[in-house]
Amino acid sequence: MSRFIPHGDMTAVELLQCSYQAVAILRLCECASWAMQNGGNVTDLADSSGSGLRLAIDLLGPVHDALEQHEGVKEVQS
């Protein structure tokens, strides 16, 4: 998986920024979905939405890695 900066080299501010950027991209994809539903150019909007979602996933990767390292992965008790 491609990462922009390893999470260990990122500050807390940079990690938060990744999260905010991912949310902004998700909002854009939501708007594109509404536009497709209302008769927009489906081909272009679908391609743009897919690209945006892949970018959001890449932005959230370091955030999740940092949280897992900080808190540790807690096993589910069964």
Mean residue pLDDT across the chain: 79
Name the packing angle between helices 12-37 and 42-71 (round to 10°).
Answer: 150
Q: Do residues 26 and 56 make contact, with C-beta atoms less than 8 angstroms apart?
A: yes
pLDDT value at position 3?
56
For the question of whether the overall pTM of this predicted structure is more than 0.75, the answer is no
Share of the chain above pLDDT 90, in %: 5
Q: How far apart are CA 67 and CA 38, in angstroms?
A: 39
Q: Do residues 65 and 15 make contact, with C-beta atoms less than 8 angstroms apart?
A: no
Give the best-scoring range by mean pLDDT among 27-31, 61-65, 72-76.
Answer: 27-31
pLDDT value at position 78?
47
Q: Identify which has the larger pLDDT, 72 or 35.
A: 35
Q: Do residues 14 and 48 make contact, with C-beta atoms less than 8 angstroms apart?
A: no
